[in-house]
Amino acid sequence: MNSADKGFLPVSKEDMANLGISRVDFVYIVGDAYVDHPSFGHAIISRVLQSKGFTVGIISQPDWKDKDSIDILGEPRLGFLVTSGNMDSMVNHYTVAKKRRNSDAYSPGGVSGRRPDYAVVCYCNMIRRLYPKKPIIIGGIEASLRRLAHYDYWSGRVKHSILVDSGADIISYGMGERSIVEIAEALDSGIDIKDITFIPGTVYKARSIDLAGAHTILPDYDSVSGDKRKYADSFYTQYCNTDPFSGMTLVEKYRDNLFVIQNPPSKPLSTREMDDIYDLPYMRTYHPMYERDGGVPAISEVRFSIVSSRGCFGGCNFCALTFHQGRIIQSRSHESILKEAKMLTKDPDFKGYIHDVGGPTANFRAPACDKQLTKGACIGKQCLFPKPCASLKADHSDYVELLRKLRGIPGVKKVFIRSGIRYDYLLEDGSNVFFHELCRYHISGQLKVAPEHVSDKVLKLMGKPDAACFNRFCEKYRAYNDKIGKKQFLVPYLMSSHPGSTLDDALCLAEYLRDMKMNPEQVQDFYPTPSTISTCMYYTGVDPRTGKKVYVPDNPHEKAMQRALIQYRNPDNREIVKEALIKAGRGDLIGYDRRCLIRPDKKDGRLPTEGSDRGGPSGKRPNPAKAGAKKKKKTIRNIHKKKNT
């Protein structure tokens, strides 16, 4: 162990001198602030390389307007590593409405504007101007999800593989621990970067496909950028080749006989390998140079949380996990997790609360079935959708045992589960032990779940379970809380304007929320991020799996109406909700009846409705008592009139 193991990795020439390093093997350019914590990709990759004997220096958020900012550590011996950070830089910068975000949790003090748009491309071009021949390896979420031709929401067009635009030599895609070490060892042995074509989990450029082995040829770039149907076909081929056991090498051609070649994904990590990665000597916080700025906000979300697993077989179509972490669950051992938890209790700021123990989906602790560990996930078939597979092993016993051990650690008061659960998987478990203990021990007043919608038509396009499944979960959740005498609520995450969602579907969701007495705070407009099935639907207007046309709500005003309907109780949304109801011919939902979504205003006048039996032409509910009194008064007046005659 060298002296660098005792602290942060070098960020300056002075640090290098103090650590006795004259020249680092790799300079790592990072779009995020430098946080040495295993929830940050750059921390894991740099510590993994260090554990294999390589030296790594960090240049965090270099000034892209100053070419010398990427040269503060000098020329590396083996090459440059580049990542935009834990998020795609465009998602980090812009809302779904393409408005600039006001803050950045991954930057010092939460200040935005510390990295460029399309950060990986920008950083690589800076390096190429300074060091034209030096190897550049790119990775992380931005590089992984843009590894082949992809629809880019922010420019509104199909972009090249990021390898083409960035000038980088190779992509280490996915989680990257295996492939980055193989790349480093190949470079260290003297192999030219252009000859590193054989490593799983990588994408490279070549002028020939002679070394590609058995492969599948995708439509070329000109075809997919000019024909949406071909783009959908190409995307679905990529989607069907994301498994490390069954995935084929994919070849995408560009002009001038340039080929971008994607090798199959890396094999899943074993439990031992996962344990080794999370046992590396992380400092578990941000670099002290950020103290003057107030630190890095993103650390607060993960400081007292524990990653227990990776991967997700949930298969939500709007999620890119299939392309990045894959569908095969990889888990850490109980011993490794307990060791980390005990370490947390020694932190002077630890108050006794572990904020989360989970992964992309907290209650996935093992592969969906035994087959996946040797043959991979099924092609063209999902584990949970449209119904759970007959081979699915729905078993929470290992997770229950782990949580019980964590609760028993001295100094731990409460262990929360915040990374989300799949309620359809939970309902498949014949034992109710986890459900019971979830309600009793691991919730603080409310449980966040993600039904996303209630229209079965929309849910089908999302790859989510039907509404009846969510209703069963809600009933069971209420029953368990009644049984243990706790008043705990469900907080639903919902999505508006997903491909396939019409105004009628949004109204269906609004009425459901009314009937269930839910007032959701978390509503996300569908965000077309790279490399998801839903984004492919958004761009092409077809479902790439079936070729069938899909309605796409891409008009900004319609999207605003769909979102407002979900949050109809918000007074600020009243006018746009009223507009949506009238447009949908549902003026009957404007009135005083308990089934109405909003009340009428004096200026509303006569509102179009579906019939007077739904509230009258004004949208007001008729008052039977007043109507009866008026009729009685008229009858008495007629009697007196006859007597006088």
Is 41 among the domain residues?
yes
Residue 87 belongs to a domain: yes
- Asked if residue 346 lies in contact with residue 408, where contact means CB atoms within 8 angstroms, the answer is no
Residue 35: enclosing H or E segment and its boundaries?
A: strand 35-36
Under DSSP, the state recorded for 485 is: T
Average pLDDT over residues 509-522: 92
- In 3D space, the residue among 41, 133, 40, 36 whose CA is nearest the CA of residue 80 turns out to be 133
Closest CA to 85 of 48, 162, 138: 138
Using the predicted structure, report yes or no on whether residue 432 has a pLDDT greater than 60.
Answer: yes
Burial of 173 (0-12, 13-18, 19+ CB in 10 A): buried
Mean pLDDT throughout 547-567?
Answer: 96
Exposure of 112 by Cβ count < 10 A (0-12 exposed, 13-18 middle, 19+ buried)?
middle
Q: Measuring CA to CA, which residue among 324, 215, 206 is closest to residue 263?
A: 215
pLDDT at 342: 98
Whether residue 514 is contained in a domain is answered as no
Question: With contact defined as beta carbons under 8 Å apart, do 365 and 371 qualify?
Answer: no
Cα 89 to Cα 31: distance, rounded to the nearest angstrom: 8
pLDDT at res. 419 = 87
* Type of residue at 135: P
CA distance 180 to 201: 9
Share of the chain above pLDDT 70, in %: 92
**pLDDT tens-digit series, residues 202-246:** 999 999 999 899 999 999 999 999 999 999 999 999 999 999 999
330 pLDDT higher than 70: yes
pLDDT of residue 5: 40
Is there a contact between 187 and 135 (Cβ–Cβ < 8 Å)? yes
Alpha helix ranges (H) inside 388-502: 397-407, 423-428, 433-441, 456-462, 467-484
CB 600 within 8 A of CB 607: yes
Instruction: With residue 414 as reference, give the H or E element that holds it.
Output: strand 414-415
Concatenate the DSSP letters of all residues of 553-575 into one string.
---HHHHHHHHHHHTTTSGGGHH
| Among candidate residues 290, 226, 205, 267, the one with its CA nearest the CA of residue 35 | 290
Q: Decide which of 302 and 641 is more confident.
A: 302
358 — phi, psi (to 5°)? 180, -155
Q: Are strands 215-217 and 249-254 parallel, antiparallel or unpaired?
A: parallel
Percent of the chain with pLDDT over 90: 90
Tens digits of residue pLDDT in 147-200: 999 999 999 999 999 999 999 999 999 999 999 999 999 999 999 999 999 999
pLDDT (0 to 100) of residue 534: 98
Write down the pLDDT at residue 568. Answer: 96
pLDDT of residue 619: 40
Mean pLDDT of the 138-154 span: 98
Q: Does a structural domain hold residue 103?
A: yes
Q: Is 154 inside a domain boundary?
A: yes
pLDDT at 77 exceeding the cut of 70:
yes
pLDDT at res. 615: 39
- DSSP H helices, 485-604, are 503-516, 533-540, 556-566, 574-583
Q: Are 81 and 123 in contact (CB under 8 A)?
A: no
Mean pLDDT of the chain: 92
Q: For residue 484, which amino acid is it?
A: I
* Domain limits for position 110: 3-202
Residue 528, domain member (yes or no): no
Whether residue 545 lies inside any domain: the answer is no
Q: Is 38 left (phi over 0), alpha (psi -120 to 50) or beta?
A: alpha
Q: At what angle do helices 397-407 and 433-441 cross, to 10 degrees?
A: 30
**Cα dihedral 600, 605, 608, 613 sign:** positive
The two structure tokens encoding residue 581:
């109801």
Cross-strand pairs, 354: 415
Spatial separation of the C-alpha atoms in residues 136 and 125, rounded to whole Å: 10
Which carries the bigger pLDDT value, residue 639 or residue 284? Answer: 284
pLDDT at 3: 36
Digit-coded pLDDT (tens) for 625-641: 444 444 444 444 454 44
Sort 11 into a burial class: Cβ within 10 Å, 0-12 / 13-18 / 19+: middle
Work out how many domains the chain is built from and give that number: 1
Q: What is the CATH number of the domain that holds 153?
A: 3.40.50.280
More confidently predicted of 623 and 94: 94
In a domain, 78, yes or no: yes
Q: How confident is the model at residue 538 (pLDDT cuts 50, 70, 90)?
A: very high
Looking at residue 495, its amino acid is: M
Average pLDDT over residues 306-332: 95
pLDDT band at 606 (very low <50, low <70, confident <90, very high): low
Distance of alpha carbon 136 from alpha carbon 129, whole angstroms = 12
User: pLDDT digits over 345-356, tens only?
Assistant: 999 999 999 999
Q: CA distances (Å), 45 to each of 37, 99, 184, 239, in order?
A: 11, 32, 11, 25
Least-confidence region, from 2-6, 124-128, 269-273:
2-6
CA-CA distances (angstroms) from residue 96 to 507, 547, 572, 577? 21, 26, 20, 20
The model's confidence at residue 270, banded by pLDDT at 50, 70 and 90, is very high
pTM of the model: 0.91
Confidence of residue 14 (pLDDT cuts 50, 70, 90): very high
Question: Model confidence over 463-515: pLDDT tens digits?
Answer: 999 999 999 999 999 999 999 999 999 999 999 999 999 999 999 999 999 99
What's the rounded mean pLDDT across residues 299-324? 95
| Amino acid 604: pLDDT | 62
